[in-house]
Structure 1
Amino acid sequence: MTHITTSTPHGVEREARRYENRLLLLLFLAFGFVFFDRQALSFLAPYMDADFGLSNGELGTLSGVLALTWALAGMVAGRLSDRLGRRKPILIAAVVLFSLFSSASGLMAGFAGLLAARALMGTAEGAVLPMAQSLMVEASRESRRGLNMGLLQGSSAGLLGGIVAPGVVVWIAESYGWRIAFYVTIIPGLVIAALIARFVRERPPLIRTASETARDGAAGQSKLALKDVLRLRNVVICMLIACCYLTWFVTLITFTPTYLTEVKGFTPGTMSGVMTCLGVAWVLWGFATPGISDRIGRKPALIGFTALAVLCPIAIVYVSSPALLGLIMIFTYTGLGCFTLFMATIPAETVPPGTLATALGLIMGVGELAGGFLGPMISGWASDLWGLQTAMFIAAGGALIVVLLSFALRETAPAVLRRRRRR
């Protein structure tokens, strides 16, 4: 059980806060490189045509199979972690394995081999987020919970997957070939795994108020059975939101680079620049949205920022100027900040700590199965029939459904609930 102290010397408090920041940095890098590797296929697809000649349906299948194995691994890893009471060994193994499997994509000579490599990569990557989220929630002060989770899940993926990846991956592909671009992905993963092994603790030092200690201590004594987790309204709503939001996200990251080069006629360099704007938005809203939700509430933040996210795929279809499109994407690609809310923060404020990894793995897993696996496959097949713009409209529809579902959530933000009780 986590050691929690309500009155401690300043030295212990400083240690707890230093550990919180150190853990945030390491998990930021770990999950960021998960998305660096996941995004690489989308950016390298135009360069792989000479060897594979991928159709839209096949590209969607490659994204879909990664999401499928990601989903299954996330659910299994979350359940296993709660049963064993261990997260660090699972996290280290996952980081090492996804790095190896990502680089293996560069060795494949056919579609079937590439499909197998992506499936194995998803199996490893799926375990990372539930472990990272549960470690971060436990080490975070209440006042920084939303911000920390936003930086970990949203901004990290945006910086490394949305800003660094398009520039680095496209440059390596242009200079040395797409296979080399896959090979180099092994290096940062192995370095991060070593840092996690050295500096991450299974249980962090925590400094909390007496009321927080009493509440979390009581909650930590109980674990919910899976059937009881599925009776919680917020968990069920978050699962449904995950299905629709993953459709929005995976469809966009899978087909936008191809849409910009093949339909709009952008050069690879211009496409990379536009996608970098998407990455800027990812970083910005990745921490801003959860941070704002700490003050105004999870529910209104999710509704408002998702309404903006509906406009992003529509702009991709109808805006022709690369500069204007990039600017619009910065202000409308707000969804990744919302991911932190329904995949981590709201569940963490809903379920007991002893069941948290299970709930997080379940929400992520169901969302990846429906939105991450089926979403891009259906979008790819539909695009082969009716054109690539169909994928963009499917993405917009997924975000619109999220807006409607969000009205059914119960508010969980501690600051908002305290204000309501004082009225």
Structure 2
Amino acid sequence: MTTAGQRNLTLAILTLIYVFNFMDRQILGVLAEPIKAELGLSDSQLGLLTGFMFAIFYTTVGVPVAWLADRTRRTWVIAGACTLWSGFSAACGLATGFATMAAARIGVAVGEAGGVAPSYSLIADLFPPASRARALALYSLGVPIGIGIGTAVGGWIADAFGWRTAFVVVAAPGILLSVLLLLFVREPVRGKAEAEATPPLGAVIGRFLRSPPLMLVSLAASLGAFACYGLMAWLSAYLIRVLGMTLTEIGSWLSITLAIGLGLGIWASGALADRFAHRNPRMYAIIPGVALAIGAPALVLATLAESWAAALPLFGLALGLSIFYLAPSVAAIQVLSLPGERSTASAIMLLCLNLVGLGGGPVFLGVVSDWAMPAHGSGSLRVAFFALVPVFLIAAAANLAAARALGRVATSAS
């Protein structure tokens, strides 16, 4: 696939699939309050459902599926995964308690494990290094678009018809997108080194673990994801519980805030990486590191706000800065990996990122909130949000360490 039209069509379909990937993944956080009330869940249980329980299956299944994608048609892997996660997302609407909701969420996680890493690999084969970070940033806009639409649609439908109907409506388009992918996207030719770069899974994992730049970039991204996923998972509940928003207001205003904040953060980080990182690879880590350092005081100011109208723009800023890790880190992994192992290397990075970030962030905030509830009541989530501020700073420091490792790679290459 060589024409710009073919490249852009593939990118558009993959991005649309990613939109529904994140809609299905994050809608549980949007509907946390009515689900908690009907199913009798604690904040810790909600944290497990949105975080660790999802992440452990998403990450462990992701590596072998990505290894398979490096050796088979990636379009078939992505289409099958999309069909699977859409079906289980609809099944979340049938849950009767913690156990049944957990089973449905595990199914969503297993399906989504086959979506992102093969898509990264496809995009890396279609776009040259000079424009790759922007292409990956465009693909990653599926995150804010999916969260924004999911928040709006989920909030409105849940308010009008109940949270169970919201799960079904959000999940349904995934089946159609799987068919569109198979009809209109052809498998691109892999990188020039593909014929001699198809190592076994163990060799790819070993090379990844022995590479300080790969490991440090993954660690820094994981800590950024811890802050970002934790904030995203609990923001709807915080605004309802602490600042008195309604589900309809969540659907109207939080959706816009998430889409704009996360969208600008992803696009800006990708554009900056393409602008500066090809001359100085350290910028793949310096850019998100600076953003996270600025995001810490933004989160403090947002959490101190006493009205949702004042808090929303500040939360949007904090979220946008927290997600600066995504496009640069993914682009760095593609640059540091051989063409025949990009799906697998991406899956290993995503394993670290989601196990630490998606698995840890929501659970951390839920546990802190339950711990603080006897003393602070409905304000316990405010205490949890303040506890997230040091994570922003730790993630910024980890990015500086990753930048030093990337600088050593650039020096040895020259």
Deviation of 1:220 after TM superposition, in Å, equals 6.3
Question: Which has the higher mean CA deviation after the structures are superposed, 49-58 or 250-259?
Answer: 49-58
Deviation of 1:337 after TM superposition, in Å, equals 3.6
The whole-number CA distance in structure 2 between the counterparts of 1:365 and 1:390 is 29
Residue 76 of structure 1 pairs with residue 51 of structure 2: no
| CA gap 1:381/1:286 in 2 versus in 1, 3 angstroms | same
The whole-number CA distance in structure 2 between the counterparts of 1:129 and 1:312 is 30
Q: Who is 2:234 aligned against? A: 255
- Give the match's secondary structure for 1:334: helix
Deviations 1:256-305 (A, max 9, x none): 11111112222333344135312211112221211111112323312222
1:90 to 72, 77, 80: 77
The whole-number CA distance in structure 2 between the counterparts of 1:54 and 1:312 is 31
Residue 24 of structure 1 pairs with residue 4 of structure 2: no
Q: Who is 1:388 aligned against? A: 381
The one-letter amino acid of 1:405's match is A
Deviation of 1:186 after TM superposition, in Å, equals 2.8
Contact kept, 8 Å, 2:85 with 2:108, in 1: the verdict is: yes
Residue 34 of structure 1 pairs with residue 14 of structure 2: no
Residue 245 of structure 1 pairs with residue 233 of structure 2: no
Residue 119 of structure 1 pairs with residue 93 of structure 2: no
| CA gap 1:125/1:394 in 2 versus in 1, 3 angstroms | farther
The whole-number CA distance in structure 1 between the counterparts of 2:28 and 2:298 is 21
The whole-number CA distance in structure 1 between the counterparts of 2:248 and 2:341 is 46
The whole-number CA distance in structure 1 between the counterparts of 2:106 and 2:322 is 25
Q: Who is 1:9 aligned against? A: none
The one-letter amino acid of 1:238's match is V
Q: Who is 2:254 aligned against? A: 274
Deviations 1:118-167 (A, max 9, x none): 011011112211011111111113332111101112x1110121x21111
Q: Who is 1:349 aligned against? A: 335
The one-letter amino acid of 1:71's match is T
Deviation of 1:22 after TM superposition, in Å, equals 0.5
The whole-number CA distance in structure 1 between the counterparts of 2:138 and 2:339 is 21
- Give the match's secondary structure for 1:202: coil
The one-letter amino acid of 2:207's match is D
Question: Which has the higher mean CA deviation after the structures are superposed, 66-75 or 125-134?
Answer: 66-75
Deviations 1:288-341 (A, max 9, x none): 211111112323312222223334432331122323322223433223242122
Deviation of 1:245 after TM superposition, in Å, equals 1.9
The one-letter amino acid of 2:308's match is P
Contact kept, 8 Å, 2:88 with 2:104, in 1: the verdict is: yes
| CA gap 1:240/1:38 in 2 versus in 1, 3 angstroms | same
Contact kept, 8 Å, 2:32 with 2:237, in 1: the verdict is: yes
2:315 to 326, 329, 333: 329
Question: Which has the higher mean CA deviation after the structures are superposed, 403-412 or 88-97?
Answer: 403-412
- Give the match's secondary structure for 1:203: coil
1:287 to 248, 251, 267: 267
| CA gap 1:156/1:412 in 2 versus in 1, 3 angstroms | farther
The whole-number CA distance in structure 1 between the counterparts of 2:301 and 2:185 is 42
Deviations 1:3-27 (A, max 9, x none): 8xxxxxxxxxxx5211111111011
The whole-number CA distance in structure 1 between the counterparts of 2:361 and 2:36 is 23
The one-letter amino acid of 2:49's match is L
Residue 404 of structure 1 pairs with residue 392 of structure 2: no
| CA gap 1:219/1:124 in 2 versus in 1, 3 angstroms | closer
Question: Which has the higher mean CA deviation after the structures are superposed, 244-253 or 90-99?
Answer: 244-253
Q: Who is 2:377 aligned against? A: none
Residue 45 of structure 1 pairs with residue 36 of structure 2: no
| CA gap 1:378/1:131 in 2 versus in 1, 3 angstroms | same
| CA gap 1:309/1:200 in 2 versus in 1, 3 angstroms | farther
Q: Who is 2:280 aligned against? A: none
Question: Which has the higher mean CA deviation after the structures are superposed, 266-275 or 294-303?
Answer: 266-275
Q: Who is 2:281 aligned against? A: none
Residue 315 of structure 1 pairs with residue 301 of structure 2: yes
Identity of aligned residues (%): 25
Q: Who is 1:139 aligned against? A: 126
The whole-number CA distance in structure 2 between the counterparts of 1:223 and 1:45 is 44
Deviations 1:215-245 (A, max 9, x none): x635863356121221112210122123312
TM-score (normalised: structure 1): 0.86
| CA gap 1:312/1:382 in 2 versus in 1, 3 angstroms | same
Q: Who is 1:229 aligned against? A: 208
Deviation of 1:35 after TM superposition, in Å, equals 0.6
| CA gap 1:68/1:390 in 2 versus in 1, 3 angstroms | farther
- Give the match's secondary structure for 1:325: helix
Residue 148 of structure 1 pairs with residue 151 of structure 2: no
The whole-number CA distance in structure 2 between the counterparts of 1:329 and 1:292 is 22
TM-score (normalised: structure 2): 0.88
The whole-number CA distance in structure 1 between the counterparts of 2:354 and 2:41 is 23
The one-letter amino acid of 2:390's match is G
